[in-house]
Copies of this chain bind each other. A is one copy, B any other.
């Protein structure tokens, strides 16, 4: 599997594309719900090493919420998305009632396409200090929530994993929620997909570096990752377009359509994406792009995720 993606849903689609499989994948359970044309939930559960291998993703739960884009804050739709987020986060957290939750906003807050995590953190209802310093007013029924945005390696000089590990050792939360902007491998996922997974996350993984992941293995507590693809690489845009042209050509010339589909092979590369990356690499190999209006999209989506987390972690009254 040459295509690497942050989204389990895409991994599954790619699997079917390349394997041309029609049957169910062993060790992969899928269920879902639809709430109208542009709003649906898909739950992918990878239950065995076979499933792990097929989708190139660790065992665990992956919930994908496909949302309309754009989605205006304050609308009915917004509230529906918020409630779905809250419900899915609650399910995957499986809280008993007294946990301390730490939320980490990954990403660079000064690059708007990367600022989803820090933006979510800014809108959370924080209670840990209230419970600690005025316990009489905020008792057992208030869940203890704290949150921090640790910045990125390039601007702090410190591995995000180091910062988070230091925090976890001091604060000793029961669960970590990490929110991050992702890079998509398909244009149509950008700003229209929210993925919630219980398998952890590796900050800055998109760049290909070996970084310390945030996971139960490294931190000793469950790590729930919430991600939204906000960017796409130039190679993906080119690849998606060539696919569309191939489709168009097939109707009048199967041969030429096929030629486009098999560009990778012709270029002596394992697949089309690798070929494209190769020709782009001298000047644009790692060009990551965001839709022009990414500012508004990130604002709206981070707002709806924060509202969903608030609703999942606090009583309804506290959350508004």
Interface stretch among A7-15, A45-53, A219-227, A286-294? A286-294
Q: Indicate whether A235 reaches chain B with its CB closer than 8 angstroms.
A: yes
Range class of the A interface residue count: 35 or more
Partner of A110, one of B74, B234, B289, B295: B295
* Chain copies in complex: 4
Q: Indicate whether A95 reaches chain B with its CB closer than 8 angstroms.
A: no
The answer to whether B231 touches A292 (Cβ under 8 A) is yes
Shortest CB-to-CB span from A78 to chain B, Å, is 10
Interface stretch among A56-64, A152-160, A193-201? A152-160
Chain B residues whose C-beta falls within 8 Å of the C-beta of A292 in the assembled complex: 111, 113-114, 231, 288-290
Can you offer 13 A-B residue contacts whose CB atoms are under 8 A? A112-B112, A130-B157, A144-B157, A148-B150, A163-B166, A165-B170, A187-B284, A237-B237, A245-B263, A248-B267, A249-B266, A259-B259, A287-B291
Among A122, A171, A292, chain B packs the most CB atoms within 10 A around the CB of: A292
Interface stretch among A22-30, A35-43, A84-92, A272-280? A272-280
Q: Indicate whether A93 reaches chain B with its CB closer than 8 angstroms.
A: no
Q: Indicate whether A80 reaches chain B with its CB closer than 8 angstroms.
A: no
**Which A residues from 116 to 162 make CB contacts under 8 A with B?**
122, 126-130, 144-151, 153-159, 162
The answer to whether B156 touches A126 (Cβ under 8 A) is yes
Partner of A244, one of B113, B122, B155, B280: B280
The answer to whether A148 touches B147 (Cβ under 8 A) is no
Beta-carbon nearest neighbor of A277 in chain B: B241
